[in-house]
Structure 1
């Protein structure tokens, strides 16, 4: 027995397994442990013949704050997680009702469908701590508007759900996320397992090409940047809630 509470909780209902990120102390940041638990949970969903689709959601006001700066996974592990979402033989649907930052946006990019409430906010904050959105670009660059992505990558600006839907980061947004989600889940329950599997493979083929071509290069870039002096200053400033030295 163990008294350790899981960081990822799973609930099954009528063919849908909901995986809930539940690491409130670090705003569901991508720690070594959370990535491992999510990877394991997705593996179980892939093997379960009763699971038609997966919903990925969260507790608290943050879907995912990006990489855990204290206990970050190796970039290869993040690549593995994003590839697993894309290659899972069942659709994965993101349900967002809070903030999404940095690496958390990679999760949205890898999901087949992503819906959000009006309270959701989004920002690629990597540039502000001295790194770049390297690994998460693997699913994002093929699926989102390149001009908009250039702006938000380079500035780290926050934007809302309407803009996120416009640029292709979200499928849909609304004041009540579950109203938006309901017809999606109904459609998935009406679809055949074979139809879903084969159709998902059609949709993800081009995205997965970028993994085969660029995953190693992006992993090395991410590792190099996180080990740099500039990133050390950026992460220290973030923890100390001050501007880094380069801010003008």
Structure 2
């Protein structure tokens, strides 16, 4: 499809979804939300794609909600607000549950709902100059729809502070609290993201997909008999899979696995 608020391209098994509204600091509206949902749904099903980058054009990564969209929402009924919020919640879940690994390439400031986009990704790389802010309470709002992902990414203790204070914080602080994985100089951003993508694309597509599900399913579960049985079943299935057998066999034979051909 032709996108109005995004650009989408695929090169060498890597898809790049780029927020493309630099004139409004890539703030999103209902059209952006819908297009992101469509893009990640389609790319998640595309067998040519091994990894996805979420990027942005212009000096800011994402300023959160578009002001004109917010003005329109101010006149919504409770039911209309709920339906509108559900569209955003479903889009974030689509990114979070995407079967392909997703890398956020944060080249500039990231505020409010933009932080939800980053948190829904699997890996986040940010430039040193980027600032972050959960600014909702300044407007009398709360970061409700993004909260499941942001709290997972930065942890409850950090979320308690930044949800309540709406303080702006640096990329270094975002790294310290675990919200982003890497902080680099602006001129090194492309190289670092390429390095991460090389690692992702070089691994078994099936194993990467299952490992992503594994983290999501196992985190915070008690280590009981049910969990032991679950993990034993998962490794048994993956060992017996085509890529599991090929990976072990290629290692023993000292050759490249078939998924690299």
TM-score (normalizing by structure 1): 0.78
CA distance in 2, matches of 1:205, 1:54: 21
**Is 1:182 the equivalent of 2:194?**
yes
- The higher-RCO structure (CA 8 Å, 6+ apart) is 1
- Structure with greater helix share of residues: 2
Gaps of 5+ in 1: 210-248
Q: Distance in 1 between matches of 2:58 and 2:211?
A: 33
Distance 1:107 1:154 in 2: 20
Where in structure 2 are the equivalents of 1:27-176 lying within 5 Å? 27-71=25-69, 74-175=84-185, 176=188
CA contact (8 A) 1:173 1:180 kept: no
Larger radius of gyration, structure 1 or 2? Answer: 2
- For 1:202, which of 192, 204, 214 is the aligned residue? 214
The residue number in structure 2 matching 1:26 is 24
Separation in structure 1 between the aligned mates of residue 139 and residue 68 of structure 2, nearest angstrom: 14
Q: Which moved more, 1:4-13 or 1:16-25?
A: 4-13
Aligned-residue RMSD, C-alpha: 2.1
Against the structure 1 CA distance between its residues 187 and 140, is the aligned structure 2 distance closer, same or farther, given a 3 Å change threshold?
A: same
Shift of 1:142: 2.4
Matches of 1:203 and 1:83, distance apart in 2: 15
Cα distance in 1 for partners of 2:135, 2:146 equals: 12
Work out the CA distance in 2 between the residues paired with 1:155 and 1:26: 25
Q: CA deviation at 1:205?
A: 2.6
Kept in 2, the 8 Å contact 1:86–1:204? The answer is no
TM-score by length of 2: 0.75
Counting matched residue pairs gives 207
Q: Separation in 1 of the partners of 2:216 and 2:65?
A: 24
